[in-house]
Homo-oligomer: A and B are copies of this chain.
Amino acid sequence: MRILVLGGDGYLGWPTALYLSAHGHDVGVVDNYVRRQYDHELGVQSLVPIVTLHERVRTWREHTGRDIAVYGGDLCDADFAYETFRDFAPDAVVHFAEQRAAPYSMIDRKHAVYTQTNNVVGTLNVMFAIGEINRDIHLVKLGTMGEYGTPNIDIEEGWLEVTHKGRTDRVLYPKRPGSFYHLSKVHDSHNIEFGCRIWGLRATDLNQGVVYGQETEQTSLDPRLSTRFDYDSVFGTVLNRFAIQAVLGRPLSVYGNGTQTRGLIEIRDTVECIRLACENPADAGEFRVFNQMTESFSLGEIAKTIQNTAPRPVEIEYVDNPRVELENHYYNVTHTALTDLGLRPHLLSDTLLTSLYRIIEQHKDRVDVRALEPSVNWRSTASAPTPVHKTA
Contact = CB atoms under 8 A, between A and B. Distances in A.
A196 to B, nearest CB: 11
Interface string A110-130: 101100110011001100100
Contacts of A176: 171-172, 193-194, 197
Interface in A256-281: none
Given A180-B191, A190-B187, A151 B128 contact: no
Contact of A175 (B131, B172, B199): B172
A71 to B, nearest CB: 19
Interface in A339-387: 378-379, 381-382
Given A109-B78, A194-B180, A381 B120 contact: no
A116 B124 CA distance: 10
Contacts of A330: 167
Contacts of A162: 153, 160, 162, 164, 174
A190 B177 contact: yes
A169 B177 CA distance: 15
A183 B194 contact: yes
A87 interface: no
Interface string A146-166: 000001111010001111110
A392 interface: no
Interface residues of A, number: 54
A62 interface: no
A302 interface: no
Given A131-B381, A176-B172, A113 B109 contact: no
Contacts of A183: 187, 190-191, 194
A174 B177 contact: no
Contacts of A167: 152-154, 330
A125 B152 CA distance: 31
Report the 9 A-B pairs with minimum CB-CB distance, sorted nearest first: A152-B169, A171-B174, A109-B128, A153-B164, A131-B381, A187-B187, A198-B324, A132-B381, A153-B167
Given A160-B174, A176-B197, 11 more contacts: A78-B113, A112-B124, A116-B187, A120-B120, A124-B180, A151-B169, A160-B162, A162-B174, A171-B176, A176-B194, A180-B191
